[in-house]
Amino acid sequence: MPVGMATILPEAARHVRRLEAQLLAEIGRWGYDEIILPTFEYLDVLAPGLEPDLIEKCFTFADRTTGRIMLLRPDATAQIARTVAMGMVGSRLPLKLSYRASVFRHEPEHAGRDREIFQVGAELIGADDAAADTEIISLLIDCLRHVGLRSFKISLGHVGFFKGLLVRAGLTGDGQKRAEQAAARKDLPRLQEILTEERVSKSFVRAILEAPELCGQAEVLARGRRLAAGEKPLLQALDRLTKVYRCLCDAGHEDVLFLDLGEFRGFDYYDGVVFDVFAEGIGVELGGGGRYDHLIGRFGRDIPSTGFALNVDRLFRGLDLASRTNDVAARNGQGRGDRTKRGT
């Protein structure tokens, strides 16, 4: 069997299909309609929506009929953007779409990552306000609770804040990209090296190095405003983030949220509020998403959009781990109760 691929045996397959069905049912309850995407596309058609690093990870092959290069789907959001731009789902906005799909990426063998990733996701297309950001994150939270995940955290940020710090510091385009990648990994030593190579002044260096460590609750926003030092793009990013955070808190979600001013997603098309979801015992994110107001514009006209995707395998593992942890805790509690009874 190829590295990074897996056969899901019958018992696990039943659980996975049930999990996917539960997620799609909850997303559908919010008014999102399922779209079924093609497994492969022409490279030249989808390439405008894919960053170069992702194209390098694609599995490609030649179309026997035309000789054109095709690729296995590496990202569902880019496919949906292409579909919307070509007018295939009508012109009435906003559009609410959901999907269940596998994506395929060639990851190094030592990276410990799957090459086939089962995803369930939702996209809210044509709405550009804090209410839309709040809806998609609230939907994600409801999905996780609906399938029984009780202990999770959502990291909430805005890519415009950290990018604004880099622009203000005058980094080159290449330097900015490398700095963003280091910040996404929370690799501060590497970030420091890049800033030194880019000859960034010490005052800007301090602000840039502090941002990835600004994690917490509302106090993070106040510190971010001090780092913004009156810069309009930075303040606008914080204003939007503040509004979404407050809306989510007002909806009763404060306990699962934490703010991260160094938050980045793995794709460069995100340009607004972004988020990742984590569960105890799983060392990587279960999924995430964010705002991508200019991705559809790569295929046609810009349409403001936001969405999320969940890694079904990781979510399944998170639920399984939580279930086993609860079973152990229950047995331990029962054992203590028995001993207490015997001692009385």
Residue 65 Cα to chain centre, angstroms = 37
| 76 CB-near residues (< 8 Å, 6+ apart) | 37, 99, 101, 103, 119, 121, 309
Rounded Cα–Cα distance for residues 83 and 99 (Å): 13
Question: Are 233 and 160 in contact, with CB atoms under 8 Å apart?
Answer: yes
Residue 334: pLDDT above 80?
Answer: no
Least confident of 38-47, 199-208, 305-314, 324-333: 324-333
pLDDT of residue 340: 40
Least confident of 65-79, 109-123, 221-235, 263-277: 109-123
Question: Are 125 and 97 in contact, with CB atoms under 8 Å apart?
Answer: yes
**For residues 316-333, average pLDDT:** 76
Rounded Cα–Cα distance for residues 88 and 111 (Å): 37
Rounded Cα–Cα distance for residues 152 and 200 (Å): 37
CA atoms within 13 A on the CB side of 282: 24
Question: Are 107 and 114 in contact, with CB atoms under 8 Å apart?
Answer: yes
pTM, two decimals, is 0.91
Residue 14: pLDDT above 50?
Answer: yes
Give the model confidence (pLDDT) of 260-303 as tens digits: 998 877 678 999 999 999 998 898 999 999 999 999 999 999 99
Give the model confidence (pLDDT) of 179-212 as tens digits: 998 988 889 999 999 999 999 999 899 999 999 9
**For residues 328-340, average pLDDT:** 56
pLDDT of residue 234: 96
Distances from the Cα of 247 to the Cα of 135, 223, 234, 242, 252, angstroms:
10, 20, 20, 9, 9
Residue numbers in the known binding site are 75-77, 105, 119, 123, 265, 269-270
Domain ranges of the chain: 1-150+280-333, 152-278
Rounded Cα–Cα distance for residues 84 and 79 (Å): 9
pLDDT of residue 336: 53
**For residues 311-332, average pLDDT:** 81
| Angle between helices 232-250 and 130-146 in degrees, nearest 10 | 40
* Torsion angles phi and psi, residue 153, rounded to 5: -135, 145
Give the model confidence (pLDDT) of 89-120 as tens digits: 877 899 999 999 999 999 876 555 689 999 99
The average confidence (pLDDT) of the chain is 91
Least confident of 1-10, 11-20, 229-238: 1-10
Rounded Cα–Cα distance for residues 121 and 319 (Å): 18
Residue 343: pLDDT above 50?
Answer: no
pLDDT of residue 341: 39
Residue numbers in the known binding site for L-histidine are 75-77, 105, 119, 123, 265, 269-270
Rounded Cα–Cα distance for residues 257 and 170 (Å): 32
pLDDT of residue 331: 65
The answer as to CATH 3.40.50.10860 being correct for domain 152-278 is no
Question: Within 10 A of 143 (CB to CB), how many other CB atoms are there?
Answer: 25
Class of domain 1-150+280-333: alpha beta
Give the H or E element holding residue 188: helix 188-197
